[in-house]
Amino acid sequence: MKVSILGGGGFLGRKLAARLAADGTLGGKQVTALTLFDMAEPPAPPGAPFPVTTLAGDVVDLPEAAIPPGTEVVFHLAAVVSAAAEADYDLGRRVNLRGTDAVIDACRRLVAAGGPAPRVVFTSSVASFSATQADTLPDDARQVPGNSYGAQKAAAELILADASRRGFLDAVSIRLPTVIVRPGRPNKAASSFFSAIVREPLLGLDTDLPVADDFAVWVCSPRRAVDWLLHAAGMDTSTMGLDRSINPPGISTTVAHLLQALEEVQPGAGAKVHRVEDAAIAAIVGTWPPAFEPLRARTLGFAPHEPLVEVVRAFVEDDLAATRAERGLD
């Protein structure tokens, strides 16, 4: 099975590539080739038991080699993330909308040439909804985004569902929760602080908290996000009908509970978190739903989430040492 990851150099793209390299299989089938595509040439995962091609380019002008003929699974992760898409409307619209158009056209060309319709696993976002802090959203909640990134993700879901109906591809869009704990440095996602309030104290560094301690958020771990992407790549889509989008089974937590989990793993670490209000960040994340009732995802076999303290421990096990080295903190 040939697999492509668009956005293969990003946080989740690298984790996904590493997992494919470790497993060697996807959905019970042997992976025979992996293509990683991103703006800068992504690193190949070490020890992959199959050939890995790494390519640099723009998803909007998607080169043919990014999704070679015979590709069965495309993970479309390439995106301009939330705060960046809000700050630069043209860039977000270009990459998040036109980039998805380009993915559809590439798949369409493969089908027109007689190939199978590739499974496209698309990373949509919880930011495609808006809600109050008191809401729990059912599976059929309407997407009424409160920011440009969310609007672009919702629009991409729709055109991918239509392309599936037309047989150009076979899409599963996963509306990912805020993925914590993100390794590396703070980034331009409005949700960056949810990771920073765990990661930075574990690195011995101070960090700011821009929202109140009782702020509620829908989260998942990178491990679980990767599990869901892999499940979406291999699952039977015949029961999904026209609705190709999934609210996966994340967990609803508050900042206070997250800091409690941090304290459990490293007592005293919470003292590094400083309350500094940021109205711009609070305005973006304040419209994101804090909880879902993801019944459809459970029916479709998406794995339930591990407890919050495991999320903090997983960061320590998987990413703390590498983050420390990358940031020159050793």
Ligand X SMILES: NC(=O)c1ccc[n+]([C@@H]2O[C@H](COP(=O)([O-])OP(=O)(O)OC[C@H]3O[C@@H](n4cnc5c(N)ncnc54)[C@H](O)[C@@H]3O)[C@@H](O)[C@H]2O)c1
Q: Environment class of residue 43 by beta-carbon count within 10 Å: exposed (0-12), middle (13-18) or buried (19+)?
A: middle
Peptide bond into 255 cis (omega under 30): no
Of these, 7, 145, 201, 290, which contacts ligand X (CB under 6 A)?
Answer: 7
Of these, 35, 125, 128, 247, which contacts ligand X (CB under 6 A)?
Answer: 125
Of these, 79, 121, 226, 251, which contacts ligand X (CB under 6 A)?
Answer: 79
Helices 308-318 and 255-265 pack at an angle, to 10 degrees, of 50
How far is 173 from 183, CA to CA, in rounded Å? 24
Of these, 1, 67, 74, 78, which contacts ligand X (CB under 6 A)?
Answer: 78
- Binding track, positions 42-71, relative to ligand X; x by CB under 6 A: ----------------xxx-----------
Residue matched to tokens 């723009």: 58
**Nearer Cβ to ligand X (107/176):** 176
Of these, 20, 74, 169, 176, which contacts ligand X (CB under 6 A)?
Answer: 176
Q: Is 81 in the site for ligand X (CB under 6 A)?
A: yes
| Contact call for residues 33 and 241 (beta carbons, < 8 A) | no
138-141 long-range contacts, CB within 8 A, separation 24+: 138/292, 138/293, 138/295, 139/247, 139/292, 139/293, 139/294, 139/295, 139/296, 139/297, 141/289, 141/292
Whether 149 is catalytic: yes
Residue 297 per-residue DSSP state = H
| Smallest gap from residue 123 Cβ to ligand X (A) | 3
Residue 188 per-residue DSSP state = S
Query: Residue with CB nearest ligand X?
Result: 10
Would strands 119-125 and 178-179 be described as parallel, antiparallel, or unpaired? unpaired
| Smallest gap from residue 130 Cβ to ligand X (A) | 15
Of these, 178, 207, 247, 253, which contacts ligand X (CB under 6 A)?
Answer: 178
Cα distance from N-terminal residue to C-terminal residue, the chain = 40
**Nearer Cβ to ligand X (89/271):** 89
Q: Is 258 in the site for ligand X (CB under 6 A)?
A: no
| Contact call for residues 182 and 195 (beta carbons, < 8 A) | yes
**Per CB under 6 A, which region of 6-14, 264-272, 299-307, 317-325 contacts ligand X?**
6-14
- Binding track, positions 234-253, relative to ligand X; x by CB under 6 A: --------------------
Residues with a catalytic annotation lie at: 149
Residue numbers at the binding site for ligand X (CB under 6 A): 7, 9-13, 38-39, 58-60, 77-81, 95, 99, 123, 125, 176, 178-179, 191
